[in-house]
Each structure stands twice: as C-alpha cells, then as structure tokens.
C-alpha cells in the first residue's frame, strides 16, 4: 500500500520518507520528482518573530514596469470587478525586482493574480524557491506532505493512489472550505504561489473570496464592533487530526489572537481576517455570541459570489494570492478514480508576512 512505503534517503542519515503516492503508476510522469512525500523525522522549532518588509510598499503604484501601457503583448484583464486579475504575456521567471515589487502590490490590491502560459513549473526547484523568497521567508507546513528534499514546497495532490486524503474527504458533504493559509501562525502568510503541474481535464478549479469586499459590505455598526475585537486562530485541530491519523507533526501547533479587521501594510485597506478553516472563537465574547457572530461572517464569506472569483486551471497556470485580504478554497469536484478526468497535482510556495495589525493600534497577541 502506498502510504506505508518507506525509503532510505542516504546511507548515513536514514530519513524516513513516507510516499503519499503509488510509485509504479507514475513511472512515466514528467513531474514525478514533485510527487508528495512525508518527512517523518525532521522536527522544527517554533517559528521566530522577524521584521517583515512588504515588497508592495516600495512599488510604483502605477505599475509601469509590470504592466507597461505601451506594450500590447502584456495583457492584464480583471476577472471580476471586485477580485482577480489575469495576466498573459509575461513570464514570472523573468521578472526583475521592480516588476516583482509591483506584482506584490497588485496581488494585495486584486487579492489574486493568475498568470497563464508560464514556464515556472520547468525552471527547477531552486529557482522556484528563490522566486518565493523574494516576497518573504518560506513557510514550512507543520503537517502537510511536500516535495522530496524540499520541505518548503507544500504538496497539492489528490490522485487515486492518495489513500490518506481520499479517506479523509469522505465524511463531508462538500469539498469546499474557505480558509487563509495557516492563519494560526503568529506572522501568517502573505503571498502564496500555487503552481499546478498536472491539471484535470475538467474540474479542480480554485475559488477566492475578497475579504476586503466582505468587510466593506458590512453595516457600519457591525464594522465598528468587529474593529475592536480579536479572534483565536488555532493550529491544534490540524495537528491533532494529523496525529490521530498516525501522521508526523513536524512543528508543534500554535494559536494566535488576530484582529478581526486587518489593515494591509501596503494598501492600507481593511479586510476581514477570520476564516472557517482556522478561526475558532472571538475573544471577550460569551460562547453563544462568538458562535453567532462567526457563523454570520463565515456564511457571508462563503456565500458572497459577488465578491468571489472561480478560476479554471490551464496547462502553465500559476496563481498568486494574498492571504491577508482573501480566503480561498479548492474545488475537488473531479473523480480521482477516473483516469479520463486526469491527475491534479501541484505545489504551493507560502511566504510569511507581518504580524497582523488592526484598527486603532490593535495588534495580534498569543
Ligand atoms: O488546490 C487548490 O486549489 C488550493 C489548495 C489550497 O488551499 C492551497 O494551496 O493553499
Ligand atoms: Fe490553502
């Protein structure tokens, strides 16, 4: 069975690496080096505080380097009025620093930016990581599967041979679940870069919700109430679930109390910073009050199709989003057991960002 196979990585250090796939069925696969494994040996200490410099802060707001007005080959299209921009005619792998700074700002403004026809998946692991590091230190997922020898590359893989994931999926009515990546961290991620190496023939889209718009839609009295509150985001259920399933927890879980309304350092825009994935309760409220308010917000975020965008992946698509101003969900609607529908496989590079700041000096605590 695929989930119990172990391999010895080197002679001196026997690294236990559990394969989360069946080796035999991927022998011909071009991106087999990116298939999911679990390092079940390396423990990581708690993340340390660091000074974060948002690249968007130094960007030219007009974005003359990234989106020059006199270059017809670069096409940027708004996917919806509220959230999402699609770019064609530029290679992420070729961007200079000025362009990357403007891109960071564009991602913050538009929530998610979709690059089509990219060579990014073929530039190699070191260059891929180097690109991510430009935006912030790379996050190592506390429990997730990753690319062999590159633990910062979080694996996205739902194939017929990923028995662990397939099993876990079966207890819910839907696969959708809006979240902001590992928002329980004390300095949670800013930009995430998701690259698909193999795209199913149909399905497997990803959707994003604008948390800036979600906040703006609320009535002023509710906005004012939320601006004074923090909510608890917890990594414990994820770690406990992994342990229960016999998985290795490589960094002990943490909780953070983040402002519910977060101010983006580069745009100054306010956004809701709660998500159904990791936010557990509102600090200072009675249980029923906290539950009712979070339920209201989670419904609002999940149901607001008029501030969401759903993106279809194509060969060569790379998605970059800002976790500080969006929530997102995978849409796992394809049949992993039907080879005609194809394989969905990719990797995520996740960059850590600032300690969240709210309104009137409200900061995260833990
Ligand atoms: O697979 C996807 O569409 C998104 C998965 C996800 O939540 C992520 O990469 O952070
Ligand atoms: Fe995610």
Cα(197)–Cα(31) distance, integer angstroms? 7
Atom of ligand 1 nearest to the CA of 206: 3
Residue 359 beta carbon below 6 angstroms from any ligand 1 atom: no
pTM to 2 decimal places: 0.95
Query: β-pairing, 85-88 with 112-115?
Result: parallel
63-106: pLDDT as tens digits: 999 999 999 999 999 999 999 999 999 999 999 999 999 999 99
Percent of the residues in the chain that have a pLDDT greater than 70, as a whole number: 94
**345 C-beta closer than 6 A to ligand 1:** no
pLDDT of residue 341: 83
What is the best residue among 317, 319, 329 to mutate for testing ligand 1's pocket, by most ligand atoms within 8 Å of CB?
329
For ligand 1, is residue 218 a contact (CB within 6 Å)? no
What pLDDT digit, counting tens, does each position of 22-43 carry? 888 888 899 999 999 999 999 9
- Looking at the DSSP bridge assignments, the partners of residue 268 are none
Q: Residue 329 CA: which ligand 1 atom is closest? A: 7
Kindly list the distances between the CA atom of residue 15 and the CA atoms of 11, 12, 40, 216, 343, in Å, as whole numbers in the listed order. Answer: 9, 9, 8, 49, 28
Residue from 111, 132, 194 whose mutation best tests the ligand 1 pocket (most atoms within 8 A of CB):
194
pLDDT digits (tens, 9 = 90+) for 127-153: 999 999 999 999 999 999 999 999 999
- Determine the 3-state secondary structure of 123 from DSSP: coil
CA–CA dist 203, 224 (Å, integer): 40
For residue 324 and ligand 1, the question of a CB distance below 6 A is answered with no
Catalytic residues, which ones?
Answer: 179, 181, 328, 348
d(CA 183, CA 145): 18
Whether residue 304 contacts residue 207, with contact meaning beta carbons closer than 8 Å, is answered with no
Q: Which of 355, 95, 302 is nearest to 179 (CA)?
A: 302
**Residue burial 172-185, b: 16+ Cβ < 10 Å; e: rest:** eeeeeebbbbbbbb
> What 3-state DSSP class applies to 138?
strand
Domain map (residue ranges) of the chain: 48-352
Using the mean position of ligand 1's atoms as its centre, give its distance from the Cα of residue 13 in Å. Answer: 32
Looking at 3.30.10.20, 3.30.70.980, 3.60.130.10, 3.80.30.20, the CATH number of the domain 48-352 comes to 3.60.130.10
Measured in Å, how far apart are the chain's first and last C-alpha atoms? Answer: 41
Pairing type for strands 230-234 and 112-115 reads: unpaired
């Amino acid at each position: 069975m695929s989930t119990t196979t172990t391999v010895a990585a080197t002679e001196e250090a026997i690294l236990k690496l559990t394969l989360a796939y069946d080796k035999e069925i991927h022998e011909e696969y071009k991106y087999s080096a990116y298939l999911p494994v679990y390092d079940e040996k390396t423990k990581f200490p708690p993340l340390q505080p660091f000074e974060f410099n948002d690249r968007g802060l130094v960007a030219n707001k007009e974005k003359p380097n990234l989106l020059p007005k006199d270059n017809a080959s670069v096409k940027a299209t708004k996917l919806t009025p509220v959230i999402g921009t699609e770019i064609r005619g530029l290679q992420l792998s070729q961007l200079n620093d000025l362009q990357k700074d403007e891109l960071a700002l564009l991602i913050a403004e538009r929530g998610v930016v979709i690059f089509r026809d990219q060579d990014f998946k073929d530039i190699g692991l070191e260059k891929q990581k180097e690109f991510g590091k430009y935006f912030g230190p790379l996050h190592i997922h506390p429990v997730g599967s990753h690319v062999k020898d590159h633990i910062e590359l979080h694996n996205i893989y739902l194939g017929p041979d990923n028995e662990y994931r397939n099993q876990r999926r079966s207890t819910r009515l839907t696969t959708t679940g809006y979240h902001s990546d590992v928002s329980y961290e004390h300095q949670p991620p800013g930009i995430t870069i998701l690259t698909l190496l193999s795209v199913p023939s149909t399905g497997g889209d990803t959707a994003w919700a604008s948390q800036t718009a979600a906040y703006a839609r609320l009535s002023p009295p509710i906005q004012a109430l939320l601006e004074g509150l923090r909510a608890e985001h917890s990594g414990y259920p994820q770690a406990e679930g992994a342990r229960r399933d016999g998985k290795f927890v490589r960094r002990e879980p943490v909780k953070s109390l983040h402002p519910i309304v977060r101010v983006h350092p580069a745009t100054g825009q306010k956004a809701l910073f709660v998500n159904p994935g990791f936010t557990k309760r509102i600090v200072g409220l009675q249980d029923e009050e906290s539950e009712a308010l979070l339920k209201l917000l989670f419904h609002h975020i999940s149901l607001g199709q008029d501030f969401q965008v759903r993106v279809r992946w194509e060969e060569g698509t790379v998605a970059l989003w800002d976790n500080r101003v969006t929530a997102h969900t995978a849409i796992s609607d394809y049949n992993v057991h039907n080879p005609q529908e194809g394989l969905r496989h990719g990797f995520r590079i996740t960059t850590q960002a600032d300690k969240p700041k709210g309104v009137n000096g409200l900061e995260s605590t833990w």
